[in-house]
């Protein structure tokens, strides 16, 4: 399967598609079963004319995504602050 990859400034895949979007994209021939298609493409780096999976980057992205998912949403934060303020006022 032929795909076209766009790279960021550190040669990590920034996007890919089955058609070329611009002249800067790199054409690659990959087997349809290649693990590239079953993983986060942004964890792949293009070096020496091949794709290399970066496990450390994958691990960093997992930690970042989990932290983002576990952040309280704005409304929850407001309600928690209101509740804490009300408790302070009532306990004085």
User: What is the reported pLDDT for 3?
Assistant: 97
Q: What are the Cα distances from residue 58, in Å, to 9, 49, 61, 67?
A: 18, 21, 5, 14
Specify the pLDDT at position 92: 66
pLDDT at 77: 82
Q: Is the pTM of this model over 0.85?
A: no
Instruction: Record the tokens describing residue 61, joined without a space.
Output: 């992205």
Whose structure tokens read 């306990």?
91
Q: For the chain, list residues with pLDDT below 50.
A: none
Query: CA angle, 55 as apex, 54 and 56 as ends, to 5°?
Result: 95
pLDDT at 73: 81
């Amino acid at each position: 399967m032929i795909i076209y990859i766009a790279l960021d400034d550190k040669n990590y895949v920034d996007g890919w598609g089955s058609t070329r979007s611009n002249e800067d994209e790199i054409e690659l021939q990959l087997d349809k079963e290649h693990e590239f298609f079953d993983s986060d493409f942004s964890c792949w780096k293009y070096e020496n004319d091949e794709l290399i999976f970066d496990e450390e980057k994958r691990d960093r992205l997992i930690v970042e995504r989990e932290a983002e998912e576990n952040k309280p949403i704005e409304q929850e934060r407001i309600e928690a602050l209101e509740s804490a303020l009300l408790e302070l006022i009532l306990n004085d």
